[in-house]
Amino acid sequence: MKNTIRDLTLTGLGIALCFVATMYLKIPNAISGYFNMGDGIILLFSSILNPVSAFLVGGVGSAMADFVGGYPHYVIFTLLIKGFQAIVVSLLFQKFGMKVKYLAYGLGATIMVFGYFLAKWYLKGNVYVAISGLTSNVIQGLAGVIVALALLPVIYKIVMKYRNES
């Protein structure tokens, strides 16, 4: 029971932090989007949560920020892209633990970059416009990986300590 409450609490906290990091810690870029710290939160929480909870943190937290932030046309894409990103990272961490953090985070960032490439191509109807967004999404992904790698040792240690006490 305690683990369920802890996981639910961490999921809610992750959704809220993802929303705040996406919505309020952002820098607009030149191609109708913005850089934010939300990807770091997604990767970090996906490292410590089960895949369903990770999907909620990544998908719901980011999609809410898109909706509130004036990008409603991206909400469904964000829900699916960030949610899938979170599931993949979570599954890798559950199966292999900390030893795959670079692979998991790199794959998660790649999913985000490729997902938004496809979304932009669909929404704009032009592959060249989609290609123009690749650089900013790669930077976004790398920033998320750096944030997650910086915070992971502390967060992972705290969460594992409390899980082992139950």
Question: For the chain (length 166 residues), average pLDDT per consecutive 10?
Answer: 80 98 85 82 97 98 96 97 99 96 98 98 96 92 96 89 72
Tell me which residue range forms the domain holding 56. 2-165
For residue 6, what pLDDT is reported? 87
C-alpha distances in Å from residue 44, one per residue of 2, 32, 71, 159 = 22, 26, 24, 12
Please give the Cα distance from 2 to 61 (Å, whole number).
24
For residue 1, what pLDDT is reported? 41
Number of domains in the chain: 1
CATH number at residue 70: 1.10.1760.20
33 — phi, psi (to 5°)? -150, -160
